[in-house]
Amino acid sequence: MKRTWEQTCFIAVFLAPALLLFTVFVAIPGARALLYSLQKWDGLSEPKWVGFSNFVALFRDDLFRIALGHNLFLTVTAGSATILLALFFAAVLHRRVRGSAVFRVAFFFPNVIASVAVALLWLLLYSTTDFGVLNGFLAWMKETVGWPAVSLPIPFTGKPYLVYSVVPMLVWTATGFYMVLFLAAMEGIPESFYEVAELEGVSPFGQFWHITLPLIREVVVVGVVFLVIGSLKLFEAVWIMDNEWPSKETHVMATLLYQKVFSEYNVGYGSAVAVLMFVLVFVATLATLRFSRREALEY
Amino acid sequence: MLSLLKSAILYAVLLVWLLAVVMPLLWVFAGSLRSSREFVEDPFGIPWLITGSPYADNPDVDTPWESVVADFRKAWVKSKFSRFFFNSVLVTTLSLVGIISISSMASYVLAKFTFPGSKLVLLYFVSGLMVPAQLVLIPLFFQFTTLSRWGTALLAPFGYEVELHDTFTGLITIYIALSLPFTILVLTGFFKSLPSELREAGIMDGCGEYGVFRHIMLPLSKPGLVTAAIFNFLGIWNEYLFALVFMNSDSHKTLPLGLAAVSIQAQYRTDFGLMFAGLVIVLVPTLLVYIVLQKQLTRGITVGALKG
């Protein structure tokens, strides 16, 4: 079909706003960040080209190594707990437990709360003041059963503990989302598979292991990618819980980036962190996708 | 017998998680009903507002109702939560309108027309999914003055002046631009599923390209548009980092930004009544929206994930 002048105009006019916005506000800044990471710049004076020395400085800097370590720690701990719990709940609810709708709706809810509000909520739960409910509970336990034998209150959101205290919060928030994700995938599995397994006397766990899990494998992999990306970009949880001013003991990459750029005006350093985050997200995504494509099961 | 025991255990685990999810929320709501005196004297009981205050005979102590009203009034008026709330509504609504109109136009063209480089354009947009927001954040911050100047030059014929720093225009523009990759990916998939014959029939009947889009394709793609809107709604309503960087003046803060600022101040002053009130003001709309849109929300979010 030959294209008329009207059609060409139509295409151009309809594409222009999206192309313009995306180019100016995403593509160009993205490319610029790569350049910034090769410069030494305070945001005001003339930038100086310094090659890869920002990246070298990064890996020599304890601050960054610790922050990266925190990200990896949170990815592994909170990530695996989330995936396991979500798989478990999805498998249980998939087998039509009574009241499964209630569980699904309730479990998903923390995911829609603003992460700032979630962090503040947990800050209050962890509080060392009179109403701090977790410390209150531990005090009650200690009084009644004599365990745990620690001095209370525990400063859960104090410097050395904060990174660990973030883990339950992340799991609390994310589990419902991944459960719903896995559940949606499980609903696509034909019921007959389970009927046959039932006849063959396969146990519920066997059914999960040999039928459900292999068939939703791709979605689980997608879930893992999401989790890894999410924990690499983590910001609000640490930022808010450490009163908008994290330090060496609590930094993650995103909070370090923010502080370096917007309060120390060390733009090159901050951009190098951003570029590394980008590379890590990219590699994590590609690696998991490559890994998952190996043997997709058809049914 | 054994299976009964097994399902009892499964239920117990489900119930434990249910409590773990619900109790903290109930606890915040209960906390928002407590006076500061109550936080010290009876922090874990049922709020005095319900059971009655032990100081009911003492006229010098505020009644529970008075102190709760005082806390919420302080949050809503003095700490400007009313302002933050209005700002969030404004920013979210305008962003969504922008996202849906701009993305649906681009997606329709990318799904229904092939022209030299059309695949490449789609790939260009979708590649944005890989870019973490933090990467874009830094250059945007330092280029905003330049971009404002460009914008002013571009819109000069219409008599507009563009200022992106610390303005709703700036924040909304960023939100729209950042949500393009995902929205275009989902909507292109959706438009592709609509039969192309509809377009040809519309052209035959003299609708014109724009008429076909506006009166045939757009109404048919409503489910896709709703899914995309809901997915973006949550992200923008809850967004914190960009608002933190770009909105400096108090009167421009969105709800998450205002909540964080007020709460951290309140914490230093140990004004916990204000903190709880602020949290509840943020949680209630979220809860209401969730109750109404719960089905669409879970579907929208998982569709996005499964397609992505």
A28 in reach of chain B (CB within 8 A): yes
Percent of chain B with pLDDT over 90: 45
- Give the pLDDT score at A115: 95
Residues of chain B with CATH 1.10.3720.10: 81-307
The helix (run of H) or strand (run of E) holding residue B132 is none
Condensed to tens digits (0 to 9), the pLDDT of residues B195-226 reads 888 888 888 888 888 888 998 899 999 988 98
Whether A124 maps to a domain, the answer reads yes
Contact list, B264 vs chain A (CB under 8 Å): 240, 243-244
B286 contacts in chain A (CB < 8 Å): 112-114, 117
pLDDT bucket at B276, cuts 50 / 70 / 90: very high
Position A26 in a domain? no
Q: Look up the domain containing A240 and give its range.
A: 52-293
Q: Is the pLDDT of residue B103 over 60?
A: yes
pLDDT, mean of residues A23-36: 95
Contact state of A270 with B138 under an 8 Å Cβ cutoff: yes
How many Cβ contacts (< 8 angstroms) between chains A and B? Answer: 254
Instruction: Please say if the pLDDT value at position A91 is more than 80.
Output: yes
pLDDT given for residue A219 in this prediction = 87
User: Range with the lowest mean pLDDT among A120-134, A168-182, B152-166, B170-184?
Assistant: B152-166
- The whole-model pTM stands at 0.91
Q: Select from A36, A114, A223 the Cβ nearest to the Cβ of B282.
A: A114
Tell whether the model's pLDDT for residue B1 goes beyond 60.
no
What per-residue confidence (pLDDT) applies to B308?
A: 43
What pLDDT sits at residue B279? 94
Q: Least CB-CB distance to B282: which of A108, A117, A226?
A: A117
Instruction: Give the residue with greater pLDDT, B43 vs B236.
Output: B236
Position A138 confidence tier, pLDDT thresholds 50, 70, 90? confident
> Nearest Cβ partner of A131 from B39, B234, B241?
B39
Does pLDDT of B295 surpass 90? no
Of B18, B184, B305, the CB nearest to A181: B305
Q: Residue A256 contacts by C-beta under 8 Å, 6 or more apart in sequence?
A: A63, A64, A67, A246, A270, A273
Given pLDDT bands bounded at 50, 70 and 90, which one contains residue B302?
low
Decide if A36 touches B, using CB distance below 8 A: yes
Q: What is the DSSP string of A89-151?
A: HHHHHHT--TTHHHHHHHHHGGGGS-HHHHHHHHHHHT-SSTT-HHHHHHHHHHHHH--S-S-
Per-residue pLDDT at A8 exceeds 80: yes
Closest Cα in chain B, distance from residue A297 (Å): 16
Crossing angle of helices A28-36 and B133-155, rounded to 10°: 120
- Average pLDDT of chain B, as a whole number: 88
Q: Examine the pLDDT at B293 and tell me if it is beyond 60.
A: yes
* Chain A residue nearest residue B294, CA to CA: A105
Count: domains in chain A: 1
Where do the H-state alpha helices sit in chain A? 5-22, 28-36, 53-60, 62-94, 100-108, 115-125, 133-145, 162-186, 191-199, 204-207, 213-215, 217-232, 236-241, 253-262, 267-293
Report which DSSP code applies to A39.
Answer: E
Measured in angstroms, the CA of B93 and the nearest CA of chain A are apart by 17
Check pLDDT > 80 for residue A245.
yes
Minimum-distance CB partner of B297 among A112, A222, A223: A112
Q: Do A254 and B210 touch (CB under 8 A)?
A: no
Which residue type does B284 have?
A: V
Backbone torsion region of residue B200, taken as left when φ is above 0, otherwise alpha when ψ lies between -120 and 50, otherwise beta: alpha
B contacts of A125 (beta carbons < 8 Å) = 24, 27
Predicted confidence (pLDDT) at residue A296 exceeds the cutoff of 60: no
Does the pLDDT of residue A207 top 50, yes or no?
Answer: yes
pLDDT band at B7 (very low <50, low <70, confident <90, very high): confident
| B110 band by pLDDT with thresholds 50, 70 and 90 | very high
For domain B81-307, give the fold.
MetI-like fold (1.10.3720)
Chain B CB contacts of A113 below 8 Å: 238, 283, 286
pLDDT score recorded for residue A292? 62
CATH number at residue A82: 1.10.3720.10
Residue at A15 is within a domain? no
Q: Do B121 and A19 touch (CB under 8 A)?
A: yes
Local confidence band at B304 (pLDDT 50, 70, 90 cut-offs): low
Residues B243-271 have pLDDT tens digits of 999 999 999 999 999 999 999 988 888 88
